Structure 1
């Protein structure tokens, strides 16, 4: 990973270079402005590089597709990407792209990489995090991305923005399972999206922080299934990816979550069942 000597607004650019092992001449460099501020998601975390590597490995699926990158309000490291495998000429997607151009979400390494691979990207961040939005705009500008929009969403809550989203095929999340208190909000938002497309998948990378944490009960409650993806399958099993020192010694896993046999409202014993059940009902 290279560091640019130029700084803009206190942000130093770091360059991540993704290469194809089978075709060494094929590579892609992404410049990400970073600000070392503990209060904001202003720099790249280990899980983001692993997820970006997965996107790079499957870049042929991104060309000509529409990608929505969504950052969840709350912990600064929780970021979502909604990736819709639909032709860019789809009239349903055109208004979203044209109405919110030039805004970004966090540092957005996976989203920026997807855009550089030919996807049509829509970034999103919480509206009360202007510094993250600004750094997202810096990321877009640093990579020559002029046609990128933004959408604000609060995960776990029903909002017009969530309900107006077109059907999504893949949901991407980097380090979204950071705080156990947020785990169900993360999953219930995916369940809401499943109501529009039952075949959607959730591709997510997460860092192991405690052996006591588990998604098993929540996955069962929301009728979801989970499959682990070995990092070696997409060239992410090393300590240094894209010319960077990330993920380093951190233990990162990737998994794909999808609908189980059926998607039902949660058990009535859950203290958060009323709000979450309403979310799924409204999304139908």
Structure 2
């Protein structure tokens, strides 16, 4: 994977989008934060279903935010905000984040060196939004062997 991995729609984003459709009655009117959004398929779908959405990603690649803005514009969405959020860094963006009902994450656990950062970010968000839920889809990209 290279720096532009956020430019792809991974299978897990499609799976999470299907789950959002399944939960569309629940998601309407909720405030949703998508972490590591990349192309933002799940978050944009949640916005189209009536959620107030915050799309977040790292600014490591300038193309990610350009693509997010284009996707918001092409979908005629006014209920979407963008937030620069680096996993594991607790700056003013995350410390001052508005109350969240649902945290979305599709394919955020692709690199084991980032697991602690992702999980600490999600833990912080859930600890500060006690009724919030975390919806995640994950795609395993390596063969798993079981040793007995």
Alpha-carbon distance in 2 for matches of 1:136, 1:169: 22
Q: Is the 8 A contact 1:48 1:205 kept in 2?
A: yes
Corresponding residue of 1:118: 50
1:240-263 CA distances to partner (integer Å, 9 max, x unpaired)? xxxxxxxxxxxxxxxxxxxxxxxx
1:195-223 CA distances to partner (integer Å, 9 max, x unpaired)? 313343321111123426xxxxxxxxxxx
Q: Is the 8 A contact 1:47 1:205 kept in 2?
A: yes
Correspondence 1:43 to 2:5: no
The CA deviation at 1:133 is 0.6
Which of 63, 72, 94 does residue 162 from structure 1 map onto?
94
The CA deviation at 1:153 is 1.0
Alpha-carbon distance in 1 for matches of 2:111, 2:22: 28
CA-atom RMSD, angstroms?
A: 2.0
The CA deviation at 1:151 is 1.0
Higher relative strand content: 1
The CA deviation at 1:58 is 0.5
Correspondence 1:150 to 2:71: no
1:66-85 map, 5 Å: 66-71=31-36, 79=37
Alpha-carbon distance in 2 for matches of 1:110, 1:197: 20
Corresponding residue of 1:201: 133
The CA deviation at 1:62 is 1.7
Q: Is the 8 A contact 2:12 2:107 kept in 1?
A: yes
Corresponding residue of 1:239: none
Q: Is the 8 A contact 1:64 1:118 kept in 2?
A: yes
Correspondence 1:53 to 2:22: no
Partner of 1:176, secondary structure, is coil
* Higher Rg of the two aligned structures: 1
1:14-38 CA distances to partner (integer Å, 9 max, x unpaired)? xxxxxxxxxxxxxxxxxxxxxxxx5
Structure 2 gap ranges (5+): none
Corresponding residue of 1:174: 106
Give the number of aligned pairs.
Answer: 143
The CA deviation at 1:68 is 2.4
The CA deviation at 1:137 is 1.2
Q: Is the 8 A contact 1:70 1:151 kept in 2?
A: no
Higher relative helix content: 2
The CA deviation at 1:140 is 1.2
Correspondence 1:185 to 2:120: no
Alpha-carbon distance in 1 for matches of 2:18, 2:9: 13
Alpha-carbon distance in 1 for matches of 2:56, 2:126: 20
Structure 1 gap ranges (5+): 1-37, 72-78, 80-105, 213-284
Change (3 A) 1:150 1:53: same
Change (3 A) 1:59 1:50: same
Q: Moved runs in structure 1, 4+ residues, more than 4 A? A: none
| TM-score (structure 1 length as normaliser) | 0.46
